[in-house]
């Protein structure tokens, strides 16, 4: 592995100032460099951040009387053993928060009178979540659907100005129009400036005077619109599943990518079919005569009717499984199974003649079907007394 050790450049050269420059000149030079090498200004230049840090380090030394004297006498070596702050591992945000020396400079970068706590960065748009209700059949078959996705757009009447024509925004009273609240702390490390966004105007510095709100957007400057997104819901989806459509969320800011659209599905229950994942369950009632004698019946499945054989002597609770007749696994060619749970039904009322026939029938049947080895059981119960 090759380790490159870079020789540190002279701090005056880094800032491009002469050795007898005053503090004003040094500050000015640093501001210029900081603007120049800001990552948003130079997004394609991988060296920009390095250069920025180099400038920040030079500035920290040359703007501090004691450090500058030491540096002038001994060069970089003179500072190596001191409480020198190493900028190399810091991000830009670190450099600009919490340090008094940089706090003073904030106003220089904001592009106006307003200071900022951090640089604007490209941001990914937010995800959008929507609910979609499907019938059981739609969930089985899948569907293509146009979905209305809410979207905020600039107000067509005030064009984002938020106020009626002839009216204007006023400076926020809470922050006096600066958009932020500053708390200055003195500590052993110098002056620390904590800056927070004004809770009243959310950093804008301005607010809409009462009664001056644009009538169309109510002073928001934006209106809710809907755009249509085609969604493809695959066959076999189940209640609670989500379909993600990438890039259909909110737009990103400052060139960031858009968020995603999450469609949360709720599937209506079916009156007869139940689901257990991709398996479909169906309770199927048959008459007791059919259960005794056996028969063929047609049962509904999600793909149409299927004939199943009820064997003679089928009891309630018997499960008959039809392989691959369940729900499709979403985005797959595989299917679950269909399980048919047999429920044997008996008539609750019998006519006299039916009763008579059943009595006759009973005489013809070997009772062992009720309790096999019943004598054995009775014996074992009495012997255990
Ligand atoms: Zn408006
Ligand atoms: Zn404010």
How far away, in angstroms, is 174 Cα from ligand 1 center? 24
Residue 176 has φ and ψ, to the nearest 5°, of 55, 30
Ligand nearest to the CA of 217: 1
The reported pLDDT for the residue numbered 329 is 95
Asked if pLDDT for residue 130 goes beyond 80, the answer is yes
Q: How many A from CA of 199 to the centre of ligand 2?
A: 7
CATH class for domain 11-90? mainly alpha
Under the phi-then-psi rule, with left for phi > 0, alpha for psi from -120 to 50, and beta for the rest, what region is 370? alpha
CA distances 334 to 216, 221, 224, Å, are 53, 51, 42
For 365-379, the pLDDT digits (tens) are 877 666 666 677 777
Measured distance CA(310)–CA(344) in Å, rounded:
11
* Other beta carbons less than 10 A from residue 127's beta carbon: 14
End-to-end alpha-carbon separation of the chain, Å?
87
Task: Kindly give the distance from the C-alpha atom of residue 251 to the centroid of ligand 2, in angstroms, as a whole number.
Answer: 26
Q: How does pLDDT run across 316-347, given as a tens digit for each residue?
A: 999 999 999 999 999 999 999 999 999 999 99
Report the pLDDT value the prediction gives residue 372, as an integer from 0 to 100: 63
User: Nearest Cα to 249, choosing from 129, 79, 374?
Assistant: 129
Express each pLDDT in 55-113 by its tens digit: 888 888 888 887 888 788 777 776 664 444 444 444 444 444 433 344 444 433 433 33
194 confidence band (pLDDT: 50, 70, 90): confident
Distance between CA 330 and CA 140 in Å, rounded? 9
Pick the CATH number of 274-348 from 1.10.340.70, 2.60.130.10, 2.40.30.20, 2.60.260.20: 2.60.260.20
pLDDT cut 90: percent of the chain above it: 40
Measure 210 CA to ligand 2 centroid, in angstroms.
15
Separation of CA 196 and ligand 2 centre (Å): 11
Query: Which ligand lies nearest the alpha carbon of 204?
Result: 2
In the reported structure, the alpha carbon of residue 210 is separated from the centroid of ligand 1 by a whole-number distance in angstroms of 14
Interval between CA 375 and ligand 2 midpoint (Å): 93
- Same CATH topology for 11-90 and 124-157+219-267: the answer is no
Domain residue spans in the chain? 11-90, 124-157+219-267, 274-348
Ligand nearest the Cα of residue 179 is: 2
Structure tokens at 244: 């993600």
> 124-157+219-267 architecture in CATH?
Sandwich (2.60)
Query: CA-to-CA distance for 309 and 294, rounded, in angstroms?
Result: 8
Ligand 1 (single-atom ion) residues, CB below 5 Å: 155, 157-158, 214, 216-217
Q: What is the mean pLDDT of the chain?
A: 82
CA of 195 to the centre of ligand 2 (A): 13
């Amino acid at each position: 592995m090759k380790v490159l050790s870079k020789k540190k450049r002279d701090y005056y050269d880094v800032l491009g100032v002469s050795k007898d420059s005053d503090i004003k000149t040094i500050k000015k030079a640093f501001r210029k460099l900081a603007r120049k090498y800001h990552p948003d200004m130079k997004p394609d230049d991988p060296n920009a951040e390095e250069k920025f840090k180099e400038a920040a380090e030079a500035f920290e030394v040359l703007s501090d009387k004691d450090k500058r004297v030491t540096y002038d006498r001994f060069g970089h070596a003179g500072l190596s053993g001191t409480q020198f702050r190493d900028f190399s591992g810091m991000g830009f945000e670190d450099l600009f928060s919490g340090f008094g020396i940089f706090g003073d400079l904030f106003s220089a970068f904001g592009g106006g009178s307003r200071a900022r706590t951090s640089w604007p960065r490209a941001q990914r748009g937010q995800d959008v979540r929507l609910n979609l209700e499907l019938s059981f059949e739609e969930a089985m078959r899948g569907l293509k659907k146009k979905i209305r996705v809410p979207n905020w757009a600039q107000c067509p009447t005030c064009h984002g100005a938020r106020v009626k024509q002839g009216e204007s925004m006023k400076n926020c009273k809470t922050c006096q129009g600066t958009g932020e609240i500053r708390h200055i702390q003195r500590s052993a490390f110098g002056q620390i400036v904590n800056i927070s966004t004004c809770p009243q105007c959310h950093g804008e510095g301005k607010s809409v005077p009462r009664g001056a709100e644009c009538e169309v957007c109510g002073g928001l400057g934006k209106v809710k619109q809907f755009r249509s997104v085609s969604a493809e819901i695959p066959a076999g989806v189940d209640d609670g599943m989500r379909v993600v459509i990438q890039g259909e969320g909110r737009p990103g800011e400052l060139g960031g990518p858009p968020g995603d659209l999450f469609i949360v599905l709720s599937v209506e229950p079916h009156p007869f079919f139940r689901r257990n994942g991709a398996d479909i369950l169906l309770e199927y009632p048959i008459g007791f005569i059919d259960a005794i004698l056996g028969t063929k019946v047609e049962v509904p499945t999600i793909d149409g009717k299927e004939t199943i054989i009820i064997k003679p002597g089928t009891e309630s609770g018997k499960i008959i499984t039809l392989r691959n007749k369940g729900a499709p696994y979403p985005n797959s060619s595989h299917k679950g199974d269909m399980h048919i749970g047999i429920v044997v039904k008996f008539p609750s009322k019998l006519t006299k003649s039916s009763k008579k026939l059943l009595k006759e029938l009973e005489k013809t049947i070997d009772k062992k079907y009720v309790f096999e080895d019943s004598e054995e059981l009775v014996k074992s119960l009495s012997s255990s007394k």
